[in-house]
């Protein structure tokens, strides 16, 4: 019994889509739980290989990875770039996932690099020092402003006191002058009273 070309083509496409889904599922798991680590030729820890573009995603067949990954994911196979781009939903999902996994890898590599950890610690110390210096400067500025306000208040109180004293002095002087005037008026009135009868007698 012969197998039609359409049947073979459909089977190959189904296999390619299954491979895309398997790679997507594995990457999604890494994005959620963290990209696994492996040791390089120098025995230093590094991130497991992962695709960073649509073409490397399509070329991903597990041979780029450690044995543990290959054993875990036997369905990883190469697939045609056109197979992925012809499926709009899968294409958008893979694009979004590659962006997420790449951003996560950047952060993970920083954590693996001791120099980055030291730089981040120094940066946190610098920021904390700036905060404390700013707080101290603010405290000193507030104290200076308080001293200036107290000096201004004292100056205003002294000026007010001097004004009150001047007004009081002026009021007393006015009272004295008024008293002198009343005394002079009284003396003149008394003098007139005494001189008026004498004029009548003449």
- List all residues 6 or more positions away from 81 whose beta carbon is below 8 Å from its beta carbon: 54, 55, 58
Predicted pLDDT at 1: 44
Predicted TM-score (pTM) of the model is 0.53
89 pLDDT more than 90: yes
| Mean pLDDT, rounded, of the chain | 84
Kindly state the average pLDDT of the residues 11-20. 90
CB burial class (10 A; 0-12, 13-18, 19+) of residue 134?
exposed
pLDDT band at 49 (very low <50, low <70, confident <90, very high): very high
pLDDT band at 4 (very low <50, low <70, confident <90, very high): low
Hey, where are the domains in the chain? Answer: 5-112
CB burial class (10 A; 0-12, 13-18, 19+) of residue 30?
buried
pLDDT tens-digit readout, 131-163 = 888 888 888 888 888 888 888 888 888 877 887
175 pLDDT more than 60: yes
Q: What percent of the chain has pLDDT over 70?
A: 89
């Amino acid at each position: 019994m012969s197998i039609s070309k359409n049947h073979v083509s459909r089977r190959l496409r189904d296999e390619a889509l299954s491979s895309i889904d398997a790679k997507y599922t594995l990457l999604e798991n890494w994005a959620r739980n963290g990209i696994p680590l492996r040791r390089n030729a120098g025995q230093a820890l590094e991130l497991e290989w992962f695709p960073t573009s649509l073409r490397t995603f399509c070329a991903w067949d597990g041979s780029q990875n450690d044995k543990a990954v290959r054993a875990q994911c036997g369905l990883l196979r190469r697939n045609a770039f056109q197979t992925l781009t012809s499926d709009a939903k899968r294409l958008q999902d893979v694009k979004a996932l590659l962006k997420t996994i790449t951003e996560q890898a950047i952060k993970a590599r920083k954590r693996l690099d001791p120099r980055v950890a030291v730089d981040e610690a120094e940066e946190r110390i610098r920021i904390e020092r700036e905060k404390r210096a700013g707080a101290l400067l603010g405290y000193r500025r507030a104290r200076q402003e308080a001293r200036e306000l107290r000096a201004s208040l004292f100056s205003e109180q002294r000026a007010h006191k001097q004004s009150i004293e001047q007004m009081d002095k002026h009021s007393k002087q006015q009272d004295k002058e008024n008293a002198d005037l009343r005394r002079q008026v009284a003396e003149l009135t008394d003098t007139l009273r005494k001189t008026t009868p004498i004029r009548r007698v003449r």
